[in-house]
Amino acid sequence: MRLHRFLRKGSTIKQDPLFNVVKNLLGFSPKDISLFRRVFTHTSMEETDMMGKKINYERLEFLGDAVLNTIVATHLFQKLPENNEGSLTLMRSKIVRRAFLNQIGEHLGLINHLSSNVPAKNYGADVHGNLFEALVGAVYLDSGFQACSQFVHSCMIDPYVDLTKLQNIVLSYKSLLVDWFQKNRKQYRYEVTKDDSAEDISHYKAKLWINNKIVASARATNKKKAVEKVSKRAFFQFQHQIKSITTRH
């Protein structure tokens, strides 16, 4: 009787349309499809379980972030035996950066399976990466760390992570420039002002002064983005001189 109920339950799971979606994504069959239903449930659905707890991908996203960091850290620890803690931490940051995770989530087409009550244009720029982290969290709970690690390697690390190319990726142009300014005793200052215009969305204008001369300016929708944008523009003016310290940023 128990075997009959187990087989009937397994059959029911396989009949769930989400089962094949998840199986195709992972390359193996999920055990608890309810975990993956959370992955593809947006907060706007306002769903709750029998205990009144919210059903969406946010908690799984939190867990997936931690698991993903561990998987990437293990990979770097094994592949870069000569690198110190600081270098390994920087390399991990370059791999798990939001822009890269967004690319992975978009490549997997995760957003195509998301249940939501809001238009896709209102999801936010990071929804792809958020869903990928939630998926990693669900795989970890469903199948364990080893299976989760294999999944991350197959869909992200093996096809897209090139440790040699990562050396040249800059996470913070401002940090890189400030380091270079200080080492070369250059006087610098950032000037950020609100850019009043007829546009509906507020913008900020950033200027970078070096030795009392404006070397670059840029606009963005917030102060942090404006400063990073102007720093990137200035970087390309001095990149040949700065190249020697890029591996630290």
Give 52-87 pLDDT, tens digit per residue.
788 899 999 999 999 999 999 999 999 999 999 988
pLDDT in the model for residue 73:
98
Beta sheet of 188-195, edge-to-edge order: 188-195, 203-210, 213-220
Specify whether 199 is located in the same domain as 110. no
Q: End-to-end distance of the chain based on CA atoms, in angstroms?
A: 62
Beta strands 188-195; 47-48: pairing state: unpaired
Cα 234-240-245 angle, rounded to 5 deg: 85
* pLDDT for 154 beyond 90: yes
The number of beta carbons lying within 10 Å of the beta carbon of residue 70 is 16
Which amino acid is present at 240?
H
What pTM does this model have?
0.76
pLDDT in the model for residue 239:
82
Q: What tokens appear for 168 in the block?
A: 């040249």
pLDDT in the model for residue 242:
74
Instruction: Write out the H or E segment, with its range, that includes residue 215.
Output: strand 213-220
> Over pLDDT 70: what percentage of the chain?
90
Specify whether 46 is located in the same domain as 84. yes
* pLDDT for 248 beyond 70: no
Specify whether 125 is located in the same domain as 191. no
Domain end, chosen from 143, 166, 189, is at 166
* pLDDT for 49 beyond 90: no
* pLDDT for 249 beyond 80: no
pLDDT in the model for residue 240:
75
The number of beta carbons lying within 10 Å of the beta carbon of residue 203 is 15
Specify whether 49 is located in the same domain as 135. yes
Sign of CA dihedral 161, 162, 165, 166: positive
User: What CATH number does residue 209 fall under?
Assistant: 3.30.160.20
Domain end, chosen from 166, 201, 225, is at 166
The number of beta carbons lying within 10 Å of the beta carbon of residue 51 is 5
Q: pLDDT tier at 245 (50, 70, 90 boundaries)?
A: low
pLDDT in the model for residue 4:
42
Specify whether 183 is located in the same domain as 117. no
User: What CATH number does residue 21 fall under?
Assistant: 1.10.1520.10
* pLDDT for 5 beyond 50: no
Domain end, chosen from 148, 166, 184, is at 166
Average pLDDT over residues 192-221: 87
Helices 2-15 & 17-26 angle (0-180, nearest 10): 80
Measured distance CA(168)–CA(174) in Å, rounded: 15
Average pLDDT over residues 159-187: 89
Residues 69/70/75/76 CA torsion (nearest 10 deg): 60
Active-site positions read 65, 133
Specify whether 62 is located in the same domain as 113. yes
pLDDT in the model for residue 243:
62
The range of the structural domain enclosing residue 153 comes to 2-166
Specify whether 61 is located in the same domain as 144. yes
Specify whether 7 is located in the same domain as 125. yes
* pLDDT for 8 beyond 70: no
Q: pLDDT tier at 197 (50, 70, 90 boundaries)?
A: low
Domain count for the chain, please give it.
Answer: 2
Specify whether 143 is located in the same domain as 91. yes
Which amino acid is present at 205?
K
CA 62 to centroid of chain Cα atoms: 12
pLDDT in tens, 81-123: 999 998 899 899 999 999 999 999 999 999 999 999 988 888 8
Residue 245 DSSP code: G
* pLDDT for 3 beyond 50: no
Specify whether 10 is located in the same domain as 105. yes
Specify whether 206 is located in the same domain as 141. no
> Over pLDDT 90: what percentage of the chain?
63
Average pLDDT over residues 7-34: 81
Measured distance CA(156)–CA(238) in Å, rounded: 33
Nearest in space to 202 (alpha carbons), one of 220, 224, 226, 227: 220
Specify whether 85 is located in the same domain as 196. no
Structure-token match 């972030």, residue found: 65
Q: pLDDT tier at 6 (50, 70, 90 boundaries)?
A: very low
Question: How many Cα atoms within 13 Å fall on the side-chain side of residue 135?
Answer: 29
What are the Cα distances from residue 49, in Å, to 40, 55, 211?
A: 15, 7, 61
pLDDT in the model for residue 7:
37
